[in-house]
């Protein structure tokens, strides 16, 4: 049986990527940076806000970074209350809780936004800890966020299941011995499998605790 579960937030618990894309696109446009849809895909692969700005603009003064981040967060927050929880999330978390399996959030989002969203949608009490982009230096390009999440629940990497929608994050988690479930639509299945996901689902209605146990045994 798994000793713990680590959940990404955006794109896994919440169908929030369209809102992120729209907000970042507007910020970049206002700053005179035209980007294609393909270039904008970078924001969905687990970087922190600072890493996103560095990717598109190079090194920036901290004051400028803060200003751009605040603008993006304001745009996102305007539509935050209209987000949809991914199907089956509530039921799956209740089942995991009943089975005594500890759960942790590992997200590149800021702590303020992560905790606000989890409270707004009544999910924060389902998790033992919320580890965010504010708690680590390199987002999910580095295993620190996953290792720190596992330590929060006293689990070894091999005892943990990670739920992720970012291929790069799946590669990092699997590199330290964690097993991953990819969350994404049918069009992303092969990409997530190539990254190392043992199973890919479009939502949590397709998951059960016995399914997770079988993945750990693979």
Hey, which CATH number is domain 17-80, 1.10.630.10, 1.10.150.240, 1.10.10.10, 3.40.190.10?
A: 1.10.150.240
For the chain, what are the domain ranges?
Answer: 4-15+84-217, 17-80
Maximum CA extent, the chain: 51
Ranking 8-12, 116-120, 139-143 by mean pLDDT, the lowest is 139-143
The predicted structure's pLDDT at residue 205: 96
Classify domain 4-15+84-217 at the CATH superfamily level: HAD superfamily/HAD-like (3.40.50.1000)
Q: Which residues pair with 209 in a beta bridge?
A: none
Position 33 confidence tier, pLDDT thresholds 50, 70, 90: confident
Contact predicate 6/149, CB 8 Å: yes
pLDDT at 132 over 90: yes
Give the separation between CA 65 and CA 70, rounded to whole angstroms. Answer: 9
3-class SS of residue 109: coil
Q: Give tens-digit pLDDT for 65-115.
A: 788 888 888 888 888 888 899 999 999 999 999 999 999 999 988 899 999
- How far is the CA of 161 from the CAs of 4, 6, 87, 126, 187, in angstroms? 7, 6, 19, 16, 23
Higher pLDDT, 187 or 209: 209
pLDDT > 90 in the chain, percent = 55
Contact predicate 5/104, CB 8 Å: yes
pLDDT at 135 over 80: yes
Quick one: how far is CA 120 from the chain centroid?
17
pLDDT at 162 over 90: yes
Specify the DSSP class assigned to residue 106.
E
Give the residue from 76, 78, 90 showing the smallest Cα distance to 19.
76
pLDDT at 217 over 90: no
The predicted structure's pLDDT at residue 17: 83
Q: Give tens-digit pLDDT for 39-72.
A: 888 877 767 778 888 888 888 888 887 888 888 8
The predicted structure's pLDDT at residue 141: 83
pTM, rounded to two decimals:
0.87
């Amino acid at each position: 049986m798994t000793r713990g579960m680590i959940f990404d937030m955006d794109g896994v618990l919440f169908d929030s990527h369209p809102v992120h894309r729209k907000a970042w696109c507007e910020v970049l446009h206002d700053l005179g940076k035209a980007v294609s849809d393909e270039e904008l895909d970078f924001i969905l692969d687990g970087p922190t806000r600072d890493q996103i700005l560095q990717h598109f603009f190079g090194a920036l003064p901290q004051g400028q970074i803060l200003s751009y981040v605040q603008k993006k967060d304001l745009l996102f927050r305007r539509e935050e209350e209209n987000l949809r929880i991914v199907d089956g999330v509530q039921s799956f978390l209740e089942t995991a809780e009943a089975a005594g399996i500890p759960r942790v959030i590992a997200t590149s989002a800021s702590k303020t936004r992560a905790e606000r969203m989890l409270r707004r949608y009544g999910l924060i009490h389902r998790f033992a800890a919320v580890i965010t982009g504010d708690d680590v230096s390199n987002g999910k390009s580095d295993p620190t966020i996953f290792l720190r999440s596992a330590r929060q629940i006293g689990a070894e990497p091999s005892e943990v299941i990670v739920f992720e929608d970012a291929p790069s994050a799946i590669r990092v988690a699997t590199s330290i011995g964690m097993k991953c479930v990819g969350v994404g639509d049918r069009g992303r299945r092969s990409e997530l499998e190539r990254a190392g996901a043992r199973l890919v689902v479009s939502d949590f209605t397709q998951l059960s605790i016995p399914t997770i146990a079988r993945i750990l045994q693979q």
